Structure 1
Amino acid sequence: MTFVVRAARDEDLAHLYEMAKLTGGGFTNLPPDRRALKAKLDRSHAAFARDEPTVEDELFVLILENTATGDVRGTCQIFTQVGQKHPFYSYRISTLTQHSRELDRTFRAEMLSLTTDLEGSSEVGGLFLHPGERAGGLGLLLARSRYLFIRAHRARFGDRVLAELRGVIDEAGGSPFWDGLAGRFFGMNFQEADAFNAINGHQFIADLMPKHPIYTAMLSESARAAIGMPHPSGRAAMRMLENEGFAFEKYIDIFDGGPTMTARIDAVRSVREAKEAAVIAANADAGIESLVAHGRLSDFRCAFGTVAPQDAGVALDPACAAAIHAQDGDKVLHVERI
């Protein structure tokens, strides 16, 4: 059974909608709303159709397909440059240290400051794998295929990349962080705000969110405990990001308090270590287990495969070569599966 990551097509809308209903909330980039998902696909089609090597405000949507059945089993997204049409807000955690000579005590207060520091970064997000496929490394294939896509189209991306991880969501679908902070100013619960943001964008944050720093000591204990913590289902994703060279630099999501991970694109492991080579044969039966990508823009395809380096190029296993539509003489990108 072979899976391939490819560009999203119009006929994937129904599959995306069904997966969006399985996310459980707090998944802004994959809202269970057909109109919003169709808008994403339209935007993605425009990005795939443009071939100029310049950075614009674009979105690429990728799909994980079972090539044996044609079933869509996962998705992920790449934003080339956030914060261009609407501000990209984050909270930045900082510390204010003060000393009282009279009391002979030092006080350290943690604060949250609303910021647009990450404006202009690229973003990897929207990764969702169907619950029935969470084995065999398919989440890793989805996640790392994005970096090979970036490497193959490097001029379309900036210097920095971020990934927002979903924060703590309680059993009722609420967010302790939202309830303890933003919810007090907006008059709506987390599900309402999250759905509105997913469909309409978060300009309403700019209109209503207090601009002054928030002292975390003034928040509830449950809200403080959620700051910078990933949702339990996102811990594996956080480890994968760390393995790629992403780090938590004290930026958190303004809705659920989840951590925002950042890296320099050229320092991301899969971008840095990927190699380009010509296919000299599709008959490798032994070699290095790798991620292999072929094709540009809407023809991009990425799959697991066996790569056998040769003097003049690489040999691929036949299943991988067929999945990514690579023939002898074609150039592929490959990086070791770790």
Structure 2
Amino acid sequence: MSWRVRPATGADLPALLDLARLTGGGFTNLPADADALAARLALSDASFARAEDAPDDELYILLLEQTLTGRIGGCGMVFSRIGARWPFYSYKIGVLSQTSAHLGRTFALPFLNLVTDHDGASEVGGLFLHPDLRTGGLGKLLARSRYLFVAQHRARFADTMLAELRGVLDDDGHSPFWDALGAKFFGMSFPEADAFNAVHGSQFIADLMPKHPVYTALLPDAARAVIGQPHASGRGALAMLQAEGFHYDNYVDIFDGGPTVTARTDQLRTVRESRSAGVTRLCTTGPTPQGNAFTPARLAAGRLGEFRAWIGHRAIEGEGNVALPAREALSLGLGIGDAVRHVAI
């Protein structure tokens, strides 16, 4: 077990800032701004320390760490309840059909409607993996660890989970969607608006964005082509989200037009299939004395600030019990009687 996922702390600010500088922009949850990241880490610390279980306005930041060196290779985030401090805005794509009897033609006119339909939902986001580590399954470990954390602390999260994916940007970091729409009302470039939102939140959208629907036929071809499309680097993330149970339902990000996907929290694959079990045996070799084979699994242990997740092995020893390889268990400080959550790879 060379990598594990653990909660971030304030001491991780330099490493998190290094990751943020690699994103290339458009990552609202991971701004390359030391003060903004420090504020996020402080909120995360307070969230892990909070005793109450009902979702309020928490942010949980998880980091991928190499166990031997302490290297930070990626991050992922879970927001317990969005729309708590300010509304969570999306564009909902609708279609207006109109028919002319004289022309004998029917026109379907797609439009964008500014909505706050997802206020109160939970969100997974901020998923970023160092470019050097995008092979070998570390991205899946980091992504699915968020769902193991949700399953481990289910009462802290809403019944609906969403994820936003970064939209299409050009080589200069500009968004065709923003340039065609948002820039007309805010007088700032996409990088400027993205940076402002990352630091100050989206209230300025409510202040300045027109509330009337926008017909997409009025937008340039370049803007229409990217509506609901993820950034090239986010296609793998979208595939992982879909495999977990998320689906696209015509909601897009108000800044870059990237897709927003949603799922019922209890129907997420990892939440639905993972099980909590007690460790009843540590084995130096396999199989177990009962003949149960060790199989690869994603595992997690600990609550809140003590949470950690990893790829390892477990042998199911009956209802609610598992055996672990002794070396893996000892490296994580686990022993007989401890609880782990496990799910198949």
Instruction: Say whether 1:327 aligns with 2:325.
Output: no
Report Cα offsets for 1:151-191 as digits up to 9, x if no partner.
11111111100000000010011001100111111111000
Native 8 Å contact 1:247 1:261 kept in 2: yes
- Tell me the distance in 1 between the aligned counterparts of 2:322 and 2:270: 18
Instruction: Say whether 1:305 aligns with 2:312.
Output: yes
Residue in 2 that maps onto 1:54: 54
Q: How many residues align?
A: 337
Residue in 1 that maps onto 2:289: none
Structure 2: unaligned runs, 5 residues or longer: 287-292
Native 8 Å contact 1:145 1:302 kept in 2: yes
The Cα of 1:319 is off from its aligned counterpart by 4.7
Q: What SS class does the counterpart of residue 119 from structure 2 fall into? A: coil
Residue in 1 that maps onto 2:123: 123
Residue in 2 that maps onto 1:296: 303
Cα–Cα, structure 1 residues 237 and 322, in superposed 2: closer, same or farther, change >3 Å?
Answer: farther
Native 8 Å contact 1:303 1:320 kept in 2: no
Q: What SS class does the counterpart of residue 196 from structure 2 fall into? A: helix
- Tell me the distance in 1 between the aligned counterparts of 2:297 and 2:124: 21
Cα–Cα, structure 1 residues 171 and 106, in superposed 2: closer, same or farther, change >3 Å?
Answer: same
The Cα of 1:325 is off from its aligned counterpart by 3.0
Q: What SS class does the counterpart of residue 233 from structure 1 fall into? A: helix
Question: After the TM superposition, which of the residue ranges 312-321 and 210-219 deviates more from structure 2?
Answer: 312-321
- Tell me the distance in 1 between the aligned counterparts of 2:105 and 2:256: 33
Residue in 1 that maps onto 2:31: 31
Matches within 5 A, 1:1-338: 2-283=2-283, 285=286, 286-311=293-318, 313-337=321-345
Native 8 Å contact 1:303 1:323 kept in 2: no
Report Cα offsets for 1:256-284 as digits up to 9, x if no partner.
00000100000000000001111122326
Q: What SS class does the counterpart of residue 174 from structure 2 fall into? A: coil
- Tell me the distance in 1 between the aligned counterparts of 2:171 and 2:325: 45
- Tell me the distance in 1 between the aligned counterparts of 2:156 and 2:138: 26
Equivalent AA in structure 1 for residue 233 of structure 2? S
- Tell me the distance in 1 between the aligned counterparts of 2:331 and 2:153: 20
Equivalent AA in structure 2 for residue 321 of structure 1? A
- Tell me the distance in 2 between the aligned counterparts of 1:221 and 1:127: 30
Native 8 Å contact 1:61 1:75 kept in 2: yes
Percent identity over paired residues: 55
TM-score by length of 1: 0.97
- Tell me how large the CA RMSD over aligned residues is: 1.1
TM-score by length of 2: 0.96
The Cα of 1:315 is off from its aligned counterpart by 1.5
The Cα of 1:323 is off from its aligned counterpart by 4.7
Equivalent AA in structure 1 for residue 316 of structure 2? P
Structure 1: unaligned runs, 5 residues or longer: none
Q: Detail structure 1 runs of 4+ shifted over 4 Å in the superposition.
A: none
- Tell me the distance in 2 between the aligned counterparts of 1:45 and 1:293: 19
Cα–Cα, structure 1 residues 319 and 256, in superposed 2: closer, same or farther, change >3 Å?
Answer: farther
- Tell me the distance in 2 between the aligned counterparts of 1:175 and 1:74: 25
